[in-house]
Amino acid sequence: MRVLIFGGDGYLGWPTAMHLSAGGFEVAVADSYLRRRLCEEVNAISLFEVPDLQERTTAWQAASGFNIKVFIGDLNEWEFVETIFRTFTPDAVIHYAEQPSAPYSMFNRRAAELTLKNNLGVTLNLIFAVRKFCPNTHIVKLGTMGEYGTPDIDIEEGWLEVDHKGRHQKFLYPRQAGSLYHTTKIMDTDLLWFYVRMWNLRVTDLMQGPVYGLFTNENENDERLFSFFNYDEIFGTVLNRFVVQAAAGYPLTVYGKGNQTRGYLNIKDTLNCIRLSLLHPAEIGELRIFNQFTETFSVNDLAKMVQETGNQLRLNVPIQHIENPRKEAEEHYYNPKHSGLCELGLKPNYLTSEILGQMIEFALRHKNKIILDQIFRKVKWV
Amino acid sequence: MRVLIFGGDGYLGWPTAMHLSAGGFEVAVADSYLRRRLCEEVNAISLFEVPDLQERTTAWQAASGFNIKVFIGDLNEWEFVETIFRTFTPDAVIHYAEQPSAPYSMFNRRAAELTLKNNLGVTLNLIFAVRKFCPNTHIVKLGTMGEYGTPDIDIEEGWLEVDHKGRHQKFLYPRQAGSLYHTTKIMDTDLLWFYVRMWNLRVTDLMQGPVYGLFTNENENDERLFSFFNYDEIFGTVLNRFVVQAAAGYPLTVYGKGNQTRGYLNIKDTLNCIRLSLLHPAEIGELRIFNQFTETFSVNDLAKMVQETGNQLRLNVPIQHIENPRKEAEEHYYNPKHSGLCELGLKPNYLTSEILGQMIEFALRHKNKIILDQIFRKVKWV
Closest Cα in chain B, distance from residue A182 (Å):
10
Does residue B270 contact residue B208 with C-beta atoms inside 8 Å?
Answer: yes
Side-chain half-sphere exposure of B68, counting CA atoms within 13 A: 35
Asked if B164's CB is within 8 angstroms of A160's CB, the reply is: yes
Q: Whole-number mean pLDDT of chain A?
A: 97
Closest Cα in chain A, distance from residue B298 (Å):
21
Reduced to 3 states (helix: H, G, I; strand: E, B; else coil), residue B330 is: coil
ipTM above 0.90, yes or no: yes
Asked if A169's CB is within 8 angstroms of B151's CB, the reply is: yes
- In this structure, the number of other CB atoms found within 10 A of the CB of residue B365 comes to 12
> In degrees rounded to 5, what are phi and psi of residue B342?
-65, -40
- Minimal Cβ distance to A167: which of B78, B153, B197: B153
Q: Whole-number mean pLDDT of chain B?
A: 97
Asked if A190's CB is within 8 angstroms of B190's CB, the reply is: yes
Range A202-229 average pLDDT: 95
Does residue B17 contact residue B63 with C-beta atoms inside 8 Å?
Answer: no
Alpha helices, DSSP H only, in chain A? Answer: 13-22, 34-41, 53-64, 78-87, 102-105, 109-133, 180-199, 238-248, 267-279, 299-312, 340-343, 353-365
Model pLDDT for residues A260-293, shown as the tens digit of each residue: 999 999 999 999 999 999 999 999 999 999 999 9
Asked if B169's CB is within 8 angstroms of A180's CB, the reply is: no
Q: Which residues of chain A are within 8 Å of residue B186 when distances are taken between CB atoms?
A: 190
> Looking at beta carbons, which pairs linking A308-316 to residues 24 or more positions away fall under 8 Å?
A308/A353, A309/A246, A309/A353, A309/A356, A309/A357, A309/A360, A310/A246, A310/A360, A312/A353, A312/A357, A313/A357, A313/A360, A313/A361, A313/A364, A315/A246, A315/A247, A315/A249, A315/A360, A316/A249
Closest Cα in chain A, distance from residue B217 (Å):
39
pLDDT score recorded for residue B183: 98
Q: Residue B280 gets which letter from DSSP?
A: S
Tell me: pLDDT of A378 over 90: no
Reduced to 3 states (helix: H, G, I; strand: E, B; else coil), residue B204 is: strand
What is the helix (H) or strand (E) element at residue B242, kind and residue range? Answer: helix B238-248
CA angle B151, B120, B96 (to 5 degrees): 80
Asked if B183's CB is within 8 angstroms of A191's CB, the reply is: yes
Closest Cα in chain A, distance from residue B78 (Å):
9
- In this structure, the number of other CB atoms found within 10 A of the CB of residue A77 comes to 14
Handedness of CA A300, A306, A308, A310 (dihedral sign): negative
> In degrees rounded to 5, what are phi and psi of residue A115?
-60, -45
Asked if B120's CB is within 8 angstroms of A112's CB, the reply is: no
Stronger pLDDT, B195 or A220, i.e. the higher one:
B195
Range B10-31 average pLDDT: 98
- In this structure, the number of other CB atoms found within 10 A of the CB of residue A59 comes to 17
Model confidence at B368, in pLDDT bands (50, 70, 90)? very high
Closest Cα in chain B, distance from residue A131 (Å):
10
Q: Which of B11, B96, B183, B185 is catalytic?
A: B185
- Minimal Cβ distance to B382: which of A116, A154, A198: A198
pLDDT score recorded for residue A193: 98
Q: What's the CA gap between A347 and A342, in Å, rounded?
A: 7
What is the helix (H) or strand (E) element at residue B238, kind and residue range? Answer: helix B238-248
Handedness of CA A101, A102, A107, A109 (dihedral sign): positive
Q: A119 CB contacts (<8 Å, ≥6 apart)?
A: A98, A99, A181, A184, A185, A187, A188
Burial string for A286-295 (b: 16+ CB within 10 Å, else e) reads: ebbbbbbbbe
- In this structure, the number of other CB atoms found within 10 A of the CB of residue B186 comes to 26
Sheet strand arrangement including A261-266: A211-212, A261-266, A295-298
Closest Cα in chain A, distance from residue B268 (Å):
32
Q: Is A181 a catalytic residue?
A: yes
**Region of residue A82 (phi > 0: left; psi between -120 and 50: alpha; otherwise: beta):** alpha
pLDDT score recorded for residue B378: 82
- Minimal Cβ distance to A381: which of B180, B198, B381: B198
Closest Cα in chain A, distance from residue B108 (Å):
9
Q: Residue A336 gets which letter from DSSP?
A: B
Asked if B177's CB is within 8 angstroms of A382's CB, the reply is: no
- In this structure, the number of other CB atoms found within 10 A of the CB of residue B312 comes to 12
pLDDT score recorded for residue A272: 98
Percent of chain A with pLDDT strictly greater than 70: 100
Q: Which residues of chain A are within 8 Å of residue B78 when distances are taken between CB atoms?
A: 109, 113
Asked if B177's CB is within 8 angstroms of A174's CB, the reply is: no
Of all residues in chain B, the one with the smallest CA distance to A117 is B117
Q: What's the CA gap between A278 and A131, in Å, rounded?
A: 19
User: What topology does CATH give the domain B2-374?
Assistant: Rossmann fold (3.40.50)
Q: Which residues of A make CB contacts under 8 Å with B? A: 78, 109, 112-113, 116-117, 120-121, 124, 128, 151-154, 160, 162-165, 167-169, 171-172, 174-177, 180, 183, 186-187, 190-191, 193-194, 197-199, 327, 333, 381-382
Range B304-315 average pLDDT: 98
Asked if A167's CB is within 8 angstroms of B162's CB, the reply is: no
Does residue A147 contact residue A177 with C-beta atoms inside 8 Å?
Answer: yes
Tell me the domain boundaries of chain A: 2-374
Model pLDDT for residues A71-109, shown as the tens digit of each residue: 999 999 999 999 999 999 999 999 999 999 999 999 999
Q: Which residues of chain A are within 8 Å of residue B124 when distances are taken between CB atoms?
A: 109, 112-113, 116
Q: Is B270 a catalytic residue?
A: no
Side-chain half-sphere exposure of B345, counting CA atoms within 13 A: 9
Q: Which residues of chain A are within 8 Å of residue B176 when distances are taken between CB atoms?
A: 171-172, 193, 197
CA angle A237, A147, A99 (to 5 degrees): 55
Asked if A193's CB is within 8 angstroms of B180's CB, the reply is: no
Asked if A187's CB is within 8 angstroms of B190's CB, the reply is: yes
Q: What's the CA gap between B16 and B273, in Å, rounded?
A: 10
Dmax (CA) of chain A: 65
Q: Is B237 a catalytic residue?
A: no
Quote the crossing angle between the two packed helices A109-133 and A78-87, to the nearest 10°: 40
Closest Cα in chain B, distance from residue A169 (Å):
6
Nearest-10 Cα torsion for B301, B304, B309, B311: 180
Question: Rounded to whole angstroms, what are the CA distances from A325 to A147, B132, B367?
Answer: 19, 19, 63
Does residue A47 contact residue A59 with C-beta atoms inside 8 Å?
Answer: no
Does residue B254 contact residue B306 with C-beta atoms inside 8 Å?
Answer: no
Best to test chain A binding among B110, B164, B379 (most A CBs inside 10 Å): B164
Q: Residue A196 gets which letter from DSSP?
A: H
Asked if A171's CB is within 8 angstroms of B151's CB, the reply is: yes
Q: What's the CA gap between A274 and A270, in Å, rounded?
A: 6
> Looking at beta carbons, which pairs linking A62-65 to residues 24 or more positions away fall under 8 Å?
A63/A221, A63/A222, A63/A225, A64/A18, A64/A21, A64/A22, A64/A218
Best to test chain A binding among B99, B183, B332 (most A CBs inside 10 Å): B183
Q: Which of B96, B104, B148, B181 is catalytic?
A: B181
Question: Rounded to whole angstroms, what are the CA distances from A299 to A200, A286, A309, A321?
Answer: 40, 35, 15, 11
Sheet strand arrangement including A202-208: A68-72, A26-31, A2-6, A92-95, A138-144, A202-208, A287-292
pLDDT score recorded for residue B377: 84
Asked if A171's CB is within 8 angstroms of B194's CB, the reply is: no
Asked if B124's CB is within 8 angstroms of A112's CB, the reply is: yes
The β-bridge partners of B164 are B167
Asked if A167's CB is within 8 angstroms of B177's CB, the reply is: no
Range B243-251 average pLDDT: 96
Best to test chain B binding among A85, A110, A156, A197 (most B CBs inside 10 Å): A197
Model pLDDT for residues A60-74, shown as the tens digit of each residue: 999 999 999 999 999
Tell me: pLDDT of A376 over 90: no
Model pLDDT for residues B199-226, shown as the tens digit of each residue: 999 999 999 999 999 999 999 878 999 9
Q: Which residues of chain A are within 8 Å of residue B172 when distances are taken between CB atoms?
A: 174, 176
Q: B331 CB contacts (<8 Å, ≥6 apart)?
A: B257, B259
pLDDT score recorded for residue A377: 84
Closest Cα in chain A, distance from residue B235 (Å):
21
Side-chain half-sphere exposure of B37, counting CA atoms within 13 A: 8
Tell me: pLDDT of B236 over 90: yes
Question: Rounded to whole angstroms, what are the CA distances from A74 to A57, A78, A90, A119?
Answer: 19, 9, 18, 12
- In this structure, the number of other CB atoms found within 10 A of the CB of residue A326 comes to 18
Of all residues in chain B, the one with the smallest CA distance to A334 is B167
- Minimal Cβ distance to B154: which of A154, A164, A191: A164
Q: Which residues of chain A are within 8 Å of residue B188 when distances are taken between CB atoms?
A: none
Asked if A78's CB is within 8 angstroms of B113's CB, the reply is: yes
Tell me: pLDDT of A116 over 90: yes
Tell me: pLDDT of A221 over 90: no
Does residue A241 contact residue A233 with C-beta atoms inside 8 Å?
Answer: yes
Model pLDDT for residues A244-265, shown as the tens digit of each residue: 999 999 999 999 999 999 999 9
**Region of residue B191 (phi > 0: left; psi between -120 and 50: alpha; otherwise: beta):** alpha
pLDDT score recorded for residue A220: 82
DSSP states of B68-134 as a string?
A: EEEEES-TTSHHHHHHHHHH---SEEEE--S---HHHHTS-HHHHHHHHHHHHHHHHHHHHHHHHH-
The β-bridge partners of B275 are none
